[in-house]
Amino acid sequence: MNNLDTFIAVTTAIIFILIVSHICGRLFQYLGQPKVVGEMISGVLLGPTCFGYFCPEISAEIFSKDVMRFLFVISNLGLSFYMFLVGSEIDFNNFNKKVMKRSSLLSVVAVIFPFIFAAVAAGWYFEIFAMPGISLVSFSIFLGTAFAITAFPMLARILHEKNILNTPIGILTITSASIQDVASWILLSFVTAAAAHKGMEAGYITLFGGIAFTAIVFLIVKPLLKIIGKRSQKNGFLNQQDFAIIIIALLAAALITDKLGLYSVFGGFILGLAVPRDAVFLKGLDSKLKDFTVAILLPLFFTFSGLNANMLVLGNITNFIPMVIIVSFAFFSKYASSTIAMKLTGYSWRESSAIGGLTNARGLMELIVANIGLSYAIISKDLYSILVLIAILTTLFAMPIYNLSMGIKKKK
């Protein structure tokens, strides 16, 4: 495939994805769901579950291996850009000791209890769903990570779309989600290191490398960004040169955290937290980056991740009981433990349930974990499909649980 053919193929795929994701997004908005849920499901529909099943030849031509490689790069850049914007919009005035204490408690509870239930499920179904050569301990940690992970990027999009990102519940949930996901990625790095026979030192590199990266961003990069913020405030706009510097820093942050095993999403988010809160600077970022990222790049990420999911294997009758048990364990271990933990810290049952529902959303982070498990030959394809189902169901129920808990009625 020459350069012109590659351009035509990739552009065709992008147009196709954007049309389908837009239609699905609008449909789910009409049904009272966040648009992002429709974008996630559009990826599953475009994959082997639906489009690839009924139109295998057309699907193979549109989403060839060459095209998928380009989509992977573009979609992951889009996710990094979006999480950078999310980080930049976090209002630190909403942070206080009470919020940090509650988010830390929520993070601990929402990780430990899913791990306990995952360990039980792993013991029951190790022989069925674990790949040869994987130990019970590694399988249990992997499944625990899949149970404990939170849809950090998708949750941010949902909170932003529903205008609750900077509410007390929104701040608590997104802060806790970031802590949970960092802990989950660190644990997952140990499992993948063992599966790839790299040694446990890879996990320590992720842990201490992430701490060092965060320290460098806030101690060295943040003061430099303040200079750009002051210059923008003085000029009354964010100029192209400074914007280019921001983009270079963002790409570097995404690359470094990806190399560390924390995934590029955290590089963008941490850098976003460090940018100055000057009104002119933030307005410049919003006008130059936000619309293109949200309307074009982000749907590509959600759709790309769903393209690898094949839900048809769930039709296998032998997987039905394990599927019900694993999905139930994953759902209730996180929702129930989060709800009870928040009630014990002083929230009402309604608020606690709302937080539990939001925290329970797994989304595309679950799909990423599932893909890692499949790529490193840790889990079978059947368990992969069950994890995809967990991602869809927990995210699908996030806003209904939130609305029902808070007494919010669907607008007619």
Nearest one of 226, 324, 322 to 275, comparing CA atoms: 226
Residue 151 predicted with pLDDT over 70: yes
pLDDT number for residue 199: 56
In which residue are the tokens 């280019």 written? 244
Percent of the chain topping pLDDT 90:
26
Task: Give residue-wise pLDDT tens across range 237-282.
Answer: 999 999 999 999 999 999 998 888 767 777 888 899 899 988 899 8
pLDDT number for residue 196: 58
**CATH number of this structure's domain 3-406, picked from the four choices 1.20.1530.20, 1.10.640.10, 3.50.50.60, 3.40.1280.10:** 1.20.1530.20
CA–CA separation, 343 vs 301, rounded Å?
Answer: 35
In which residue are the tokens 């510097």 written? 245
Which residues, other chains included, contact 120 with Cβ-Cβ below 8 Å and sequence gap of 6+?
329
Residue 37 predicted with pLDDT over 90: no
Residue 68 predicted with pLDDT over 50: yes
CA–CA separation, 228 vs 232, rounded Å?
Answer: 6
Which residues, other chains included, contact 371 with Cβ-Cβ below 8 Å and sequence gap of 6+?
305, 308, 384
Helices 97-129, 168-195: axis angle to 10 degrees equals 40
pLDDT number for residue 375: 76
Q: Count CB neighbours of 37 within 10 A.
A: 26
CA–CA separation, 24 vs 46, rounded Å?
Answer: 11
In which residue are the tokens 């082997």 written? 48
Q: Count CB neighbours of 340 within 10 A.
A: 15
The domains of the chain are located at 3-406
Q: What is the pTM of this model?
A: 0.76
For the ranges 41-55, 156-170, 242-256, 386-400, the maximum mean pLDDT occurs at 242-256
Residue 233 predicted with pLDDT over 50: yes
Report the DSSP beta bridge partners of residue 379.
Answer: 130
